[in-house]
Every structure is written in structure tokens, then in C-alpha cells.
Amino acid sequence: MKKLIAFTFALLLGIPALCSAEDKKKEEARLNDAGLAMKEILATPENIPKDLLDKAKCVVVIPSVLKAAFIVGGSYGRGAMVCRTGDDFSGSWGSPAMYALEGGSVGFQMGGEATDFVFLIMNERGVSSLLGSKVKLGADVSIAAGPVGREAAADTDAYMRAEILSYSRSRGLFAGLSLEGSTLRPDKDGNEVLYGRQISARTIVRGPSPDPPEAARNLIANLEFASPHLKA
């Protein structure tokens, strides 16, 4: 009996560590998926205009969101935000902070298949809002459907008034999509699991920043290749 109690107690002590390891694998898988989504989007003929990506302070990638996730139980899509380093966001792309995209009108605008979302954060006010807490898109921060393709690059000034430009990719099609009414927020639990300690999105982005996890390598490399320098 004593051996059984001791075994049960030891088993219970091991459960938190086991859960933590599994949770970390999930966050790393999200980073891998975000890197793959970004790579595939940048490889499409009609993708994000380079002029806009070069002017973005941060990029948020929410990969493989299913319509059902937004209309059953109030679930949400989860991904990562990567920002340029430096006080003026003019450095290389830094460590990712995990983020969550929640409900709003997303479920009604998406198709039945998995959809990738990309957000370009165009100015410091947009970044500061996202680093603080949950923001409602279109209310707390201005958002617009981003233009796509080379021809759209000539008209970028019209889009620079928006703090966030949003895109979606579903069924192989990539296009700008307005997500007003949805919310973006730091995923505190995801960041804690990924970095092994309580750490805010603001600290990850503004410093002192932790080293990027290995799972973020592809996401950061794809952004570095596509836009190595901030364009004023």
C-alpha cells in the first residue's frame, strides 16, 4: 500500500513537467507553422508589396486558423509577432512574442479551409498598443486590408495612414482582408511556456530580449531575406 501511495505521489509530481514539455512542443510547432506560412506567402507571385514590408516595424503571423475555431466555444488562432530590433525598429528581426487572434467577425469572413493571417504593424503607436494588452482592431488601432502585388506598391502612401495592414491566405489565394471587430493580444501563457519563465511581450520585443528559440529560425530567416532593412 505504501509503495502504491509513493508511486502515485511520484507520478503526480511528474505530471506538471510532462505537461510543460508538451506545451512547449505546441508553441514550437506554432512557430514552425508561422515560418512555413510566411515562406509560402512570400513565394507567391501576388504577395505583400516589398515597399510595405520594408516599412513595417513588426509582423504578426497567425497560421492555419480554422473557421470552426472561431464559431465553436470562442476559441482563437495563435501565432507570433516578430519586430525589428533597436530603439527605432531599424535593426534585424528579433525574438518572437506569442500572440492570439480572437473571434469578432473573423469566423464569418473565412472560408471552410485553414486560413493564414498576416498583420503588418506600420508605426510605433501600433506596436505600443499591441505590446500593452488586448486591442480591438478598428477601434483601439486603425486597420486596413493590405494591398497585394507589385502594382499596389506604387500606391502605398494611401495605406500608410493605417497602423495595421491585414492579409489572409486561404485555398492558395492571398489577399488583403479587413478584420475590424477582432482582437489581438499577447499570449502570456504561450510566452511563458516558450521561454521557460514569465516574460511580457514588451520585454521580448523591447528588451532585454531573450535569445530566439530554435523553432523561430525559419520565420526570422524568411523575414530577414525578404526585408533585411527598415525603409524610412
Nearest CA among 77, 86, 112, 20 for reference residue 232: 86
What share of the chain has pLDDT > 70, as a percent? 78
Q: Per the domain annotation, does 10 fall within a domain? A: no
CB count in 10 Å sphere of residue 180: 15
Residue 71 has pLDDT above 90, yes or no: no
**pLDDT tens digits, 126-184:** 999 999 889 999 999 999 999 987 656 545 555 668 999 999 888 777 888 778 888 99
Q: Per the domain annotation, does 232 fall within a domain? A: no
Task: Determine the pLDDT at residue 152.
Answer: 62
d(CA 25, CA 220): 19
How open is the CA angle 59-60-64, to the nearest 5 degrees? 135
Q: Per the domain annotation, does 187 fall within a domain? A: yes
Q: Count the alpha carbons within 13 Å of 107 in the hemisphere toward its beta carbon.
A: 12
Q: Per the domain annotation, does 4 fall within a domain? A: no
Q: How do strand 97-102 and strand 173-176 relate by DSSP bridges?
A: unpaired
Q: Per the domain annotation, does 101 fall within a domain? A: yes
Query: For the chain, what is the domain count?
Result: 1
**pLDDT tens digits, 89-103:** 999 999 999 999 987
- Do 121 and 58 meet the contact criterion of CB atoms below 8 Å apart? yes
Q: Per the domain annotation, does 177 fall within a domain? A: yes
- Do 36 and 61 meet the contact criterion of CB atoms below 8 Å apart? no
What is the rounded average pLDDT for all residues in the chain?
Answer: 83
- Do 88 and 155 meet the contact criterion of CB atoms below 8 Å apart? no
Give the domain extent around 157: 23-226
Distant-in-sequence, close-in-space partners of 211: CB < 8 Å, separation ≥ 6:
95
Q: Per the domain annotation, does 64 fall within a domain? A: yes
